[in-house]
Amino acid sequence: MRIVLLGAPGSGKGTQAQRLVERAGIPQISTGDLLRAAVARGSELGRQAREAMEGGRLVDDSLVLGMIRERLGEPDTRRGFILDGFPRNLAQAHALERLLEALQQPLDAVVQLEVDYRELVRRISGRRTCADCGRVFNMLTSPPAAGELCPKTAAPHRLTQRPDDNEATVTERLRVYDEKTRPLIDFYRARGLLRVIDAEGHVDEVTRRLARALGAPLRAPRRTRGAGTVKAAASKRASAGAARARSGRTARRKRPSLRSSRSKAAAKTARVARGKSRRPGSSGRGRLKGKRR
């Protein structure tokens, strides 16, 4: 599946993208993560992005698309990917469409997560991000599970709040979203790719709506399968099947020998009976001999 997730800030794109990663086994591609990784690696694209950010300029769409192209060339994207946070406007949508056509990786679906704006303000005020692994939580709707540890530090998540996650800033971000990003809904609807879901309610219910919108049930997260991964579980099933098959073959081999054993036992009983009948005095012949004497 090659998917774009659309939605206003706080609509749950990051949370649902993480769930898709766990259940569909395809990577999430976040332009923010790509920018940070490119800068950290010191690649040519990263150097140009750093110059733009240090100069207070927006990173050019061409740079972002170059990073997306690089990322889509990695092996884990062969089964699909989830684009989260890109495109944000019509110019980016057109550029992405051309890029994916050139790579022969067209989108399968674009999902719009709809949430009432008053709910968005409430959600964003409760949003927290782990400073170590970058995972996004919401203290109101999807807090960390009891005893959950950060996969990078093996310690409790260090939760931080973004400085722009306040009511005044959120209101402005929603205005920009209406102006720049909402037109993408009609853009993708015209291409027959758009799916719209209600993203309010419990996070598990939203995940089920997303699965229905994508037209394919999503498997349970791998980490819930206990010590065995999907591969281990399959191996266990295969071993059990092989054991049953061996048992069946053994049983089939043993059946003739059981019949043979019963036949031998019957023959032995018959021989013993014949032997007893030949003892002196135990048969008619023996009694006749005794009378002659």
Alpha carbon distance 79, 102 (integer Å): 17
Q: Count other Cβ atoms within 10 Å, centred on residue 163.
A: 7
Give catalytic status of residue 175 as yes or no. Answer: no
Give catalytic status of residue 162 as yes or no. Answer: yes
The string of DSSP letters for 98-124 reads HHHHHHT---SEEEEEE--HHHHHHHH
Alpha carbon distance 25, 45 (integer Å): 28
Among 2, 127, 128, 195, which one carries the catalytic annotation?
Answer: 127
Among 173, 189, 219, 222, which one carries the catalytic annotation?
Answer: 173
Among 13, 123, 128, 209, which one carries the catalytic annotation?
Answer: 13
Dihedral, 242, 234, 145, 3 alpha carbons, nearest 10: -170
Tokens representing 136 are 């996004």
Q: Count other Cβ atoms within 10 Å, centred on residue 159.
A: 17
Give catalytic status of residue 127 as yes or no. Answer: yes
* 21 touches 14 (CB < 8 A): no
Among 98, 152, 158, 162, which one carries the catalytic annotation?
Answer: 162
Among 23, 50, 69, 88, which one carries the catalytic annotation?
Answer: 88
Secondary structure element (H or E) that encloses residue 184, with its range:
helix 183-190
Give the residue numbers annotated as catalytic, written as ranges: 13, 88, 127, 162, 173
